[in-house]
Amino acid sequence: MVNLEVKLKDLILKNPVMTASGTFGYGEEFEDFIDISQLGGILVKGTTRHHREGNPYPRMAETPSGMLNAVGLQNKGVEYFCDNIYPRINHYNTNILVNVSGSVIEDYVETAAMINELDKIPAIELNISCPNVKEGGMAFGTSCASAASVVREVRKVYKKHLMVKLSPNVTDITEIAKAVEEEGADSVSLINTLLGMAIDSETRKPLLSTVTGGLSGPCVKPVALRMVWQVFNAVNIPIVGLGGIMNAKDAIEFILAGASAIQIGTANFIDPQITVKVVEGIKEYMIRHQVENVTDLIGAIKTQ
Amino acid sequence: MVNLEVKLKDLILKNPVMTASGTFGYGEEFEDFIDISQLGGILVKGTTRHHREGNPYPRMAETPSGMLNAVGLQNKGVEYFCDNIYPRINHYNTNILVNVSGSVIEDYVETAAMINELDKIPAIELNISCPNVKEGGMAFGTSCASAASVVREVRKVYKKHLMVKLSPNVTDITEIAKAVEEEGADSVSLINTLLGMAIDSETRKPLLSTVTGGLSGPCVKPVALRMVWQVFNAVNIPIVGLGGIMNAKDAIEFILAGASAIQIGTANFIDPQITVKVVEGIKEYMIRHQVENVTDLIGAIKTQ
Amino acid sequence: MKKLVQDFEVLHKEELNDGTFVIDVKASAPLPDIKPGQFVNVLVENAANTFLRRPLSIHFVDYEKNIIKLYIKKIGEGTTKLGELLLGDKLNIVFPLGNQYSIPKNSKTLLIGGGCGVAPLLYLAKHLKDAGNEVTTILGVRSAYDAVELDPYKQYGRIFVTTEDGSIGEKGYPTQHSVLNEKFDYTFTCGPEPMMKAVATYSKSKNIPCEVSLENTMACGFGACLCCVTDTKRGNICTCTEGPVFNINELKW
Amino acid sequence: MKKLVQDFEVLHKEELNDGTFVIDVKASAPLPDIKPGQFVNVLVENAANTFLRRPLSIHFVDYEKNIIKLYIKKIGEGTTKLGELLLGDKLNIVFPLGNQYSIPKNSKTLLIGGGCGVAPLLYLAKHLKDAGNEVTTILGVRSAYDAVELDPYKQYGRIFVTTEDGSIGEKGYPTQHSVLNEKFDYTFTCGPEPMMKAVATYSKSKNIPCEVSLENTMACGFGACLCCVTDTKRGNICTCTEGPVFNINELKW
Ligand SMILES: Cc1cc2nc3c(=O)[nH]c(=O)nc-3n(C[C@H](O)[C@H](O)[C@H](O)COP(=O)(O)OP(=O)(O)OC[C@H]3O[C@@H](n4cnc5c(N)ncnc54)[C@H](O)[C@@H]3O)c2cc1C
Ligand SMILES: Cc1cc2nc3c(=O)[nH]c(=O)nc-3n(C[C@H](O)[C@H](O)[C@H](O)COP(=O)(O)OP(=O)(O)OC[C@H]3O[C@@H](n4cnc5c(N)ncnc54)[C@H](O)[C@@H]3O)c2cc1C
Ligand SMILES: Cc1cc2nc3c(=O)[nH]c(=O)nc-3n(C[C@H](O)[C@H](O)[C@H](O)COP(=O)(O)O)c2cc1C
Ligand SMILES: Cc1cc2nc3c(=O)[nH]c(=O)nc-3n(C[C@H](O)[C@H](O)[C@H](O)COP(=O)(O)O)c2cc1C
Ligand code: FES
Ligand code: FES
């Protein structure tokens, strides 16, 4: 038997496969397709202090091997989440993580504090990297000082596992990773979307209402893999890798590059059963390669 | 008749279509396939002060809608270029630009000074963004101070059109663009490759000898387009746009986003005739949309 | 209604004019209950530039033969590749998606479709007739050459055609057809937005309920991505789960 | 030799065992002079994950019928999609690429191929015979089931087979075949690197010239990208222009 369990410090995942925030709804949208308890964890939608309507339509454009989105963190706010959604989903037999977003530090802090009270939420993912909100969001993730300050403040109120989601839209992601590690982040997840743009040459208009949006899907995989490997060589906290994972082979690549766990995002739209297929595929790979513990693969890339 | 002529300040291109450095050899490799004089200009291979062997094999990996390369500026050095290659290609009835690369400022300066003496080379493209060389290269393009300093020194010796090629691997490309504009760059070209990585999950080895390499092809187009648009809104010098252009539609998108001219790179490998096809396609688009001067399309995206 | 993801087999394909075709795909397991107005999201394989699935209305369902019919217009790579499917090929489908048209009882119903917006109306016509309604359908096409097959509609009620060039049926748009002078209790429409807006205006002027089926760009089709929002009086809501069918009163039209 | 980019038409396809197939593609214009050892670079269409062209050796050329034969082993998406081409489909090809095997005169030549490395040897055998050489070919396969068609080789000289399981021909690798005990003047080889290295060792021990055809990852195939370098005694040189055929003395083997 192969052992798929991984630990992100204190946080135990039955396998390394999680879902990426904003691509898996609250899990409920996938109940028809898969048994959610088979996953290592799920990341629910980006949640903010207050209700957000998100950006106007159009919010999506297909691109070569990927897509741009400009959803803009549409959600009903953390209070609604705690009162209405949490009770509906807290029976899932997997780790439920809330992706916490904001535009000013106080929002992050207040949201995190409220989620801290929810028994069945063992961790939050601090989204300091959303390119789709006007103020804040990505800005926090693109300088060491602001990344550090938001993590520092949230750390004061959030007592469980604090995962910080990094932006790829930076010159040196290792510096940001080190800054948030320094402030007490328990793990980092990367990458969020790359800032991109698409134009309809016929109408001469941008394809997104916000002009620019976040690029995801297999097109970003080489960048994501590189960043995971760079961060693996720079910090001591566990890494959750994501960006363009479409199958088990991709997932293994991220683990080899240094990820302790992975998240699947855009691929959920194309195959709503992809997450459980990736769990199966990782198992098969381990059997074929006689790897007993999936943890033996973490960072096991041979660069010499 | 439609008018395809564009001006990059003093540099006149018969049409906006150029080739990207490192993907078009010295032009000679394409003589069997196309009439080079039909192009707005060609960018020859990255040229350095001294001979470079480049990186060991393997140097290439295919990725979703793109490729990674780690050629590492293999070339015989600027003296060989001036003495042997230049005489062979200076009859081309198009603008020949030399892509100048280096690892220390003196290299850039000396190389530029030598190229300054070549009558038929009206411009250089200063490559401060190559991700495939150990020291220097990309490093110059990722901080305003170092980008400014290399441009400042080269500007002292180089008297013709000075184009500076920017790296996309930065937090804010507009700052770098403004810094090089400040130092007297006549135009900027963007983007060079994104830093990426690929792993063979079966062998657990990186697919490139250098582990990381430069990502190009349509997968990077949304990022490139976004950066062209950002830089267009930040500087007053002309912009040459590139990154993933595969057809005339893509080229038009870059022009609408703010590029005065475009370069075609990776697409040359897939269709060695693509450059002249894009010239034709731009013409057709202009006729269909009743655009008289291609310059009317520059930055003509409607964002409101 | 449980959503499924399943491989279907291409059983029949019929080219119509104007780049449209009807394709019958057979499920391997008995089909679940499918409502009129619902759609499927199909995976286009072997297409270099088609990354996401493509949403398509359910044109008809044959529960006996376990078949779903799709009515598709070739407009880009994805739909063109679907047109190249061969009999026996498999097609991976997520379904059934979206809400449905409401089914009144014993009323006079008017269905107006244009372009590939005719797709959901056939199945709707059947359900309306089954519920005892009188069904009148108007389909708008450009010219006789583009005309769709009308026979299937006849078994559920009256069918009229308008052509832009007057080559068959009445000349003009479907919203200009003379049958609109009759009195109807409900209108249902699907097609180009300007046409649907004209139907909405007509319905408002007659003070009768009107349901429209909206198309927009979707990444998932089942409520996970929030990309497909329509700006309604209740704010941004997902077209793929709370639509594609909307009562015009909900919209800001 | 001018390089061309042209659409060919698939005229014939023959499945061999072990996932290999031979495909005949017909040019629309008269073929230029093509040398043994040269290759083509084909565009794989309708493949979501095949972005670059795929290099393939020229297996044979029929100038009369204007046909190039390719001998292809399905190993990934690109080659699998090529195997799905139908008669009449078009295939876009950049050709002829690379250098060539040298053609001695009136000598005893030995050709050793393994796996899809047999591809260029048939056309080489023809050229060698035409130049008055005596041709001996050894092809190595895994078992009788995988055996390639040997008849075409017979017209140019002697042909031997080795199988790993001994099911036909001699058991073992082609470099272990008993005919190697004879004296040859030249060796030419193509196939897996370990096999070519064994042929190189054999040739060195016999002090005879040996030419190998190298495969590596190529982006362009015609000298533009510098991705395909081989580390030779002269430094990094392009396999696609200065190869794929190398005399082993040039290599650091
Ligand atoms: C709920 C729903 C039901 C649908 N039902 C049908 C149906 O029954 N039959 C049918 O033929 N089509 C239907 N469509 C539209 C169909 O999904 C698109 O035509 C298809 O996705 C186009 O894919 P493509 O790859 O061929 O074209 P692409 O290459 O993706 O697009 C070609 C051009 O069309 C534009 N375009 C593509 N999709 C849309 C869209 N949804 N809205 C506006 N512009 C678009 C693109 O911007 C582009 O300019 C439906 C759409 C939705 C959302
Ligand atoms: C000059 C030249 C001539 C060739 N001639 C022939 C021929 O006549 N017949 C034939 O069947 N094949 C030939 N090949 C090999 C052929 O190009 C590859 O098999 C093909 O590119 C694989 O494409 P794919 O999409 O099927 O596989 P991919 O999905 O690209 O690859 C599948 C697996 O094979 C590995 N791989 C792919 N290409 C190569 C390579 N070139 N070297 C080492 N590993 C590789 C990949 O890393 C991957 O693990 C030749 C290659 C070269 C360079
Ligand atoms: C439609 C959409 C919505 C997203 N919303 C969020 C979000 O709310 N919070 C967040 O941190 N990331 C969000 N992301 C980013 C993903 O979680 C993920 O980082 C990114 O898509 C890269 O992974 P992928 O290539 O597997 O999709 C969103 C991505 C998409 C495509
Ligand atoms: C094989 C290869 C070699 C390259 N060499 C250089 C180079 O020497 N100098 C340079 O400035 N850019 C070089 N580039 C980057 C291209 O000029 C271009 O910026 C990049 O590929 C993006 O454009 P594309 O997507 O159209 O290829 C190289 C790219 C490739 C693929
Ligand atoms: S298409 Fe994803 S939520 Fe509607
Ligand atoms: S494959 Fe491009 S130079 Fe050889």
B271 touches chain D (CB under 8 A): yes
Residue with tokens 């959303």: A130
Sequence-distant (6+) residues with CB within 8 A of B1 are none
Residues of chain D with CATH 2.40.30.10: 4-97
- Lowest-confidence pick of A134-148, B34-48, C38-52: A134-148
State the DSSP string of D25-76: EEESS------TT-EEEE---S-TT--S-EEEE--EEETTTTEEEEEEE--S
> What is the per-residue pLDDT for C46?
86
Task: State which residue of chain B sits closest to A212, comparing Cα positions.
Answer: B226
Comparing B27-36, B208-217, C10-19, D1-10, which segment has the lowest mean pLDDT? Answer: C10-19
Domain range list for chain B: 6-297
Q: Among A17, A18, A19, A23, which is best to mutate for testing ligand 3, by the most ligand atoms less than 8 A from CB? A: A23
pLDDT of residue C205: 94
Distance CA B206, CA B197 (A): 7
pLDDT above 90 (res B180): yes
Q: Which amino acid is at A247?
A: N
Nearest-angstrom CA–CA distance, A248 and B82: 51
Residues of C in contact with D48 (CB under 8 A): 45-48, 50-51
Q: Which of D51, D222, D236 sits opposite B62 (nearest CB)?
A: D51
Beta carbons within 8 Å of A134's beta carbon, 6+ residues apart: A103
End-to-end CA distance of chain A: 31
Region of residue B294 (phi > 0: left; psi between -120 and 50: alpha; otherwise: beta): alpha
Indicate the pairing of strand C39-42 with strand B66-69: unpaired
Confidence of residue A129 (pLDDT cuts 50, 70, 90): confident
Q: Tell me the mean pLDDT in the region B266-287.
A: 98
Cβ contacts of B7-10, under 8 Å, gap ≥ 24: B7/B238, B7/B260, B8/B123, B8/B161, B8/B163, B8/B186, B8/B187, B8/B238, B8/B240, B8/B260, B8/B261, B9/B161, B9/B186, B9/B187, B9/B237, B9/B238, B10/B161, B10/B186
Residues A19, A24: Cα–Cα separation, whole Å: 6
Q: Which residues pair with A160 in a beta bridge?
A: none
Give residue-wise pLDDT tens across range D58-77: 999 999 999 999 999 999 99
Ramachandran region, residue D179 (left: φ > 0; alpha: ψ -120 to 50; beta: rest)? alpha
A60 CB neighbours in chain C (<8 A) are 217-219, 225, 227-228
Output the pTM of the full model.
Answer: 0.97
Question: What pLDDT does residue A277 have?
Answer: 98
Residue of C54, C123, C193 best suited for mutating to test ligand 1, as the one with most atoms within 8 Å of CB: C54
Any ligand 5 atom below 6 A from CB of C52 = no
Catalytic residue, from B82, B130, B144, B219: name it: B130
Q: What's residue C250's pLDDT?
A: 95
Q: Closest residue (by CA) to atom 15 of ligand 3?
A: A192
In contact, A114 and A86? CB cutoff 8 Å:
no
Residue A73 and residue A102 in contact, taking contact as beta carbons nearer than 8 Å: no
What is the pLDDT confidence band of residue A235, given thresholds at 50, 70 and 90?
very high
The pLDDT of residue D148 is above 80: no
Report pLDDT for B138: 64
D235/B269 Cβ within 8 A: no
Backbone angles phi, psi at C203, to 5 degrees: -65, -40
pLDDT of residue B139: 77
pLDDT (tens, 9 = 90+) of chain C, 253 residues, equals 799 999 999 999 999 877 899 999 999 999 999 999 999 999 999 898 999 999 999 999 999 999 999 999 999 999 999 999 999 999 999 999 999 999 999 999 999 999 878 899 999 999 999 999 999 999 998 887 776 788 899 999 999 999 988 888 899 999 999 899 999 999 999 999 999 999 999 999 999 999 999 999 999 999 999 999 999 999 999 999 999 999 999 999 8
Question: For residue D168, what pLDDT is reported?
Answer: 87
Which of the listed residues C56, C218, C242 should we mutate to test ligand 5's pocket, taking the one with most ligand atoms within 8 A of CB?
C218
pLDDT value at position C122? Answer: 96
DSSP single-letter state for residue A83: I
Strand ranges inside B150-200, DSSP E: 161-165, 187-190, 194-197, 199-200
CB contact under 8 A, D217 and B61: yes
Residue type, B212: T
For D187-206, what is the mean pLDDT? 95
Looking at residue D253, what is its pLDDT? 87
Among all ligands shown, which has an atom nearest to the Cα of B66? 4
Cβ of B266 closer than 6 Å to ligand 4, yes or no, is yes
D183 to D160, D162, D229: CA distances (angstroms): 16, 19, 34
Mapping DSSP to helix (H, G, I), strand (E, B) and coil, where does residue B24 land?
coil
d(CA B6, CA A92): 61
Provide the chain C residues 8-47 that lie in CB contact (below 8 A) with chain D: 45-47
Domain D108-213 annotated CATH 2.60.40.420: no
Give the per-residue pLDDT at A134.
Answer: 57
**Inter-residue contact C60 to C122 (CB < 8 Å):** yes
User: CA A275 to CA A261: how far, in whole Å?
Assistant: 13
Task: Calculate how far, in angstroms, residue D216's C-alpha sits from the geometric centre of ligand 6.
Answer: 10
Please say if the pLDDT value at position B136 is more than 60: no
| CATH architecture of the region B6-297 | Alpha-Beta Barrel (3.20)
| Pocket of ligand 1 from Cβ distances under 6 Å | C 39, 50, 54-57, 71-73, 75-79, 116, 119, 215-218, 244
CB B44 within 8 A of CB B20: no
Burial class (CB in 10 A: 0-12, 13-18, 19+), A304: exposed
- pLDDT for D163-173, tens place per residue? 988 888 899 99
| pLDDT for B133 | 62
Please tell me the distance from the alpha carbon of residue B223 to that of residue B192, in angstroms, as a whole number.
Answer: 11
For the CA atoms of B59, B63, B66, B71, the dihedral, rounded to the nearest 10 degrees, stands at: -10
Compute the 3-state secondary structure of chain D and give helix, strand, coil in percent, each to the nearest 5: 20, 35, 45
The values of phi and psi at residue B175, to 5°, are -65, -40
State the pLDDT at residue C29.
Answer: 92
**Chain A contact set for B201 (CB, 8 A):** 249, 252-253, 256, 285
Distances (CA, A) of A204 to A211, A212, B247, B300, D132: 12, 14, 16, 7, 66
Asked whether A255 lines ligand 3 (CB < 6 A), one says no
Query: Are the C-beta atoms of D93 and D40 separated by less than 8 Å?
Result: yes
Rg (CA), chain B: 18
Is any atom of ligand 3 closer than 6 Å to the C-beta of A99?
yes
Task: Assign a CATH topology to domain D4-97.
Answer: Elongation Factor Tu (Ef-tu); domain 3 (2.40.30)
First to last CA, chain B: 31
Residue C149 DSSP one-character state: P
Ligand found nearest the CA of D73: 2
3-state secondary structure of B257: helix
Q: How far is C47 from chain D (nearest CA, A)?
A: 5
Give the position of tokens 């741009």.
A68
The reply to whether C81 touches chain A by the CB within 8 Å rule is no
Burial class of residue B37, CB neighbours in 10 A (0-12, 13-18, 19+): exposed
- CA-nearest of B249, B247, B254, B255 to B224 is B254
pLDDT computed for residue A296 by the predictor: 98
Where in the sequence of chain D do the CATH 3.40.50.80 domains occur?
108-213
Pairing of strands B11-13, A11-13: unpaired
Question: Subunits that touch chain C (at least 3 Cβ pairs < 8 angstroms)?
Answer: A, D
Q: What are the pocket residues of ligand 2 if the criterion is a CB atom closer than 6 Å to any ligand atom?
A: D 39, 50, 54-57, 71-73, 75-79, 116, 119, 215-218, 244
Chain D residues near residue C44 by CB distance under 8 angstroms: none
Beta carbons within 8 Å of D34's beta carbon, 6+ residues apart: D58, D61, D68, D95, D96, D123
| Residues of A catalogued as catalytic | 130
ipTM confidence: 0.96
